[in-house]
Each structure stands twice: as structure tokens, then as C-alpha cells.
Amino acid sequence: MPEFLTLLPPDAAREKLLAHLSALQSDPELVDTIRALNRVTAADILAPHPLPEFQRSTVDGYAVRAKDTFGASDSLPAYLRLIGESPMGDSPSFEVGAGECALIHTGGMLPKGADAVVMLEYTQSVSANEIETFKAVADGENLIRVGEDVAKDQIVIPKGTLIRPAEIGGLMALGITKLRVVSKAQIGLISTGDEIIDPTENAKLGQVHDINSYTLSALIEKYGGEAIRYGIFGDNFEVLKNAAALALSHCDMVIITAGSSASTRDMTAEVIRQMGEPGVLVHGINTRPGKPTILGVCNGKAVIGLPGNPVSALVNGYLFVVPVIEKLLGALPRPKATVQAKLTVNLSSQAGREDWQPVKLIENRESGIGRWAAEPIFGKSNLIFTLAAADGLLRIHPDATGLSAGEIVEVVLI
């Protein structure tokens, strides 16, 4: 039996793995902007023109010269001659002069001469051709100036940006309907175990459906990779080795689930050792769940062995698979979404070990202590619905021996 796991802290293990990897050198792809969600930009994207291209009103009201409203109040309104209405979707054909105004709607283009907008609720119609305003406005008030969002030739999306809905909206606002993105990282997935069967099959007693290749596929796709499932393989060394070698020849990274702990039937580490140099870098992470995780590199490609327990596999997918995908795609670092929450119960932990605890966020109705309470979801790491019921993961630092009820903690959303 091999010597059991030499444990490394998760951060040190991740750094060791990433130090052996480089970004992909494949040619970029030209894709429709609407289909670019979760893709990574291959080059800086520059604004072809300012946004907006004309001064626009942000409210319904009257376009005015600000100096014509100075001193206006409820007791002493300013009177302005109404000369027209700014048409939506077109440019006004008139110019606002001294003591004049024009009706304008939200998003409408300011006429020449106007430099501010008085909100409709601060005005009153005196006659068909005259209004009074009870509020003074400053130059630029209630409007967006030319280029206030972005200037012409400004870098609006840097190279390495993971495209989100906001970036898609911004590109469409600039009329950019296509963009170049990094080719997707191809991630091969291999499930192992004599007891594992495909979800489309009826499980007999003693058999369980494959979970990991599907949860990990979804995670991979979310962060810009392309998951390729190679199937389920029994506990046979040569069969697993051949399957892994095939996946490695076609993919940029290979993930093998199960077969990562120290057992006479666990072969993943030996498979990785025989697939290429330098082989296994880390066998064992000082974390819970997922201690038996294996991190390896074979001929420049990452090969990761994740535990078979579904919670362990997915949590460590966040910790190790996602950073590798980001490295392969050259994605810019971006903080993960977190919320502050009040812990509802005491949590114990072993000193020196980093724990990741699934929690459910519950709206906190107590005053003065934040909006959310974090309620731990307890369950063994082979119970997938303990994670499906969670809103996030709570990290217990390895220096701590636990957390106390009532502490304000940071929850990483999943």
C-alpha cells in the first residue's frame, strides 16, 4: 500500500500546480456578442465612438439654459417660453435661446443651446407657449454628456475579461455585434468505480448514478471551458490509464474523479505518474472536504484527481479546477462574489486544516446586524443535496479551531 497522503495547505498546493502551467496558445475565435457569455476576450476592445454620441436627458421635463433658471423658487418662479418638443429618435431642428425651453423626454436629445433639464414635477404650464419652473438647475443637471459613459477609442473591455451580461449589454450599446474570444479550454472528465453507472440507466442495489462528471461539466462551462465526458471506467488500472492517455492527447486538462485516496484499489495517482513528467505534484490537501485530492502535471497539462464523494469533488472543483481554467484562458483575476452573514451556530474545526462548510443564507429580521444569517448545512461529503441546498461556502481558516455563533462571517456564493 502506498504511503498515505502528504498534506499541503490549499493555497500552497494551488500555487504549486499553477506554476507549472501556461496560458493556451490557440487562435482566437470570432463569435457573435450575444453568444459570448462566459467567454474570455482575446484582445482589448476599444469603443468605436463615444457613448452616448449626443447629450441625452435622464428625466422627463424641459430642456433649458441653466442660467435662465437661477434664483427660481416656489415663491419666485422663472418663466420660460416653450418653443417646441425634442423628438424621440431624432435630432431637434430648433435651438433653445435666452428665456426659452423645450419639452423633452427621458433619453431624448438635447436641442442646441440647452445645457440642463428641469424635471417635469418642478414646473407648471402657464399657457400653451409658456411654463414656470420652481427650481433652479445647474449646468449639466439631469442629462448625460457626450462620452460620459465611454470616450472614443477608450478600452472598454480589457483582454482576459470573462464576459458577463453587463459586458454584452455594453458591447451592443456600441454596436459591436462580434468579438474575438479565447478558444475554450477542453477539459476531459473521467469517472471511475465499478459501482458507478450512467444516470440514464436504472440503478440496481449497490450501484449509484454518476454525479461528478455532470456537476463538474456545469462548473467548467460556467467559467469558460468545454467539458468532454469520456465515460465511466471500472477499477482496472490499464483501462483507466488508456482512457486518461486518450483524454490527455485531446484535451488541455484531465479530471479523474474517485480513486484518489490511499487504498489498494485507488489507482489515480499511479496513472498520473505514468502519463508524463513531472507527474504527481501534490497528493493530499489539508482541507475538508477533499483531503485526498491529487494535483498533477503531465507534459505541460494539468491532471487532477478529485475524490469520488460529490460534495468533495465539487468544492475542490471550485478551489482547483476553476483557477486552472482561468490560467489556461488568460483570464484576469476577479474576486468571487461574497456576502457578510451572522453565523447561527458554533462550528468546530481542526487546527491547521482549512474547512469549507456549506451554508444556507436566511434573511435576518433582527435589526442592526446585517441582512443575512448563515445556517450551516451538515451532511457527509457523499450527499450531494447538502450542497444543492446551500447558497454558499463558509471558509474556516486553518489557524482557527472553529467559529462561534453570532460571528459575522464571509460566505462565498456558489
Residue 2 lies in a domain: no
Work out the pLDDT band at 1, boundaries 50, 70, 90.
Answer: very low
Q: Return d(Cα 249, Cα 298) in angstroms, integer.
A: 11
Same domain, 165 and 240: no
* CATH number of residue 294's parent domain: 3.40.980.10
| 171 phi/psi in degrees, rounded to 5 | -65, -40
Residues 258 and 192 occupy one common structural domain = yes
Q: E strand or H helix at 358, and its extent?
A: strand 354-363
Whether the full predicted model's pTM is greater than 0.95, yes or no, is: no
* Of the candidates 325, 330, 348, 332, the residue with the CA atom closest to the CA atom of residue 394: 348
Q: Are residues 296 and 222 in the same domain?
A: yes
Instruction: Over range 389-411, report the average pLDDT.
Output: 92
Residue 402 bridge partners (DSSP): 348
Give the Cα-Cα-Cα angle 35, 316, 208 (nearest 5 degrees).
Answer: 90
What 83-86 contacts at long range (C-beta under 8 Å, 24+ apart), as own/partner pairs, is: 84/111, 86/57, 86/110, 86/111
302 and 207 within one domain: yes
Average pLDDT over the chain reads 93
User: Nearest Cα to 296, choosing from 332, 335, 248?
Assistant: 248
Is residue 262 very low, low, confident or very high in pLDDT (cuts 50, 70, 90)?
Answer: low
50: pLDDT confidence band, cut at 50, 70 and 90?
very high
The pLDDT-based confidence of 226 (bands split at 50, 70, 90) is very high
Non-local (6+) Cβ contacts of 353 within 8 A are 286, 287, 288, 398
Instruction: Give the count of alpha carbons within 13 A of 368, CB side only.
Output: 0
pLDDT band at 264 (very low <50, low <70, confident <90, very high): very low
Instruction: Based on the fold, state whether residues 69 and 164 are members of the same structural domain.
Output: no
Quick one: which of 139, 64, 76 has its CA closest to 100?
Answer: 64
pLDDT of residue 369: 59
Report how far residue 67's alpha carbon sits from residue 162's, in angstroms, rounded to the nearest whole number. 46
Question: Do 59 and 141 meet the contact criterion of CB atoms below 8 Å apart?
Answer: no
Alpha carbons within 13 angstroms on the beta-carbon side of residue 394 total: 30
User: Residues 162-218: pLDDT tens digits?
Assistant: 999 999 999 999 999 999 999 999 999 999 988 899 999 998 998 899 999 999 999
Claim to verify: residue 42 and residue 71 sit in the same structural domain: no
Residue-wise pLDDT tens digits, 301-352: 999 999 999 999 999 999 999 999 999 999 998 888 999 999 999 999 988 8
- Final residue before a domain boundary, out of 278, 309, 329: 329
At 177, which CATH number? Answer: 3.90.105.10
Q: What is the pLDDT of residue 91?
A: 95
pLDDT tens readout for residues 282-299? 999 999 998 999 999 999
The DSSP code sequence of 138-177 is -TTTTEE-TTSSB-TT-EEE-TTPBP-HHHHHHHHHTT--
Q: DSSP strand E in 37-149: where?
A: 45-46, 56-57, 61-64, 78-85, 100-104, 116-119, 123-127, 130-133, 143-144
- Backbone φ and ψ for 231, nearest 5 degrees, come out as 110, -170
46, 104: one domain: no
Task: Tell me which residue range forms the domain holding 37.
Answer: 29-50+158-181
pLDDT in tens, 363-378: 877 655 568 999 999 9
| The C-alpha cell that represents 164 in the structure block | 458577463
Indicate whether 265 pLDDT > 60: no
Strand-pairing partners, residue 342, are 373, 408
The residue ranking higher by pLDDT, 79 or 401, is: 79
Percent of the chain topping pLDDT 90: 84
Q: Are residues 164 and 247 in the same domain?
A: no
Number of domains forming the structure of the chain? 4
Given a cut of 60, is residue 5 above it in pLDDT? no
pLDDT at 3: 42
Question: Parallel, antiparallel, or unpaired for β 178-181 and 208-209?
Answer: unpaired
Q: Is residue 335 left, alpha or beta, with left meaning phi > 0 and alpha meaning psi from -120 to 50?
A: beta
**Mean pLDDT lowest among 3-12, 33-42, 137-146:** 3-12
- Which of 329, 324, 326, 181 lies closest to 254, judged by CA? 324
pLDDT tens digits along 228-247: 999 999 888 999 999 999 99
Q: Is 34 left (phi over 0), alpha (psi -120 to 50) or beta?
A: alpha
Q: What percent of the chain has pLDDT over 70?
A: 96
SS3 assignment for 211-272? CHHHHHHHHHHHCCEEEEEEEEECCCHHHHHHHHHHHHHHCCEEEEECCCCCCCCCCHHHHH
* 1 in a structural domain: no
Q: Are residues 168 and 244 in the same domain?
A: no
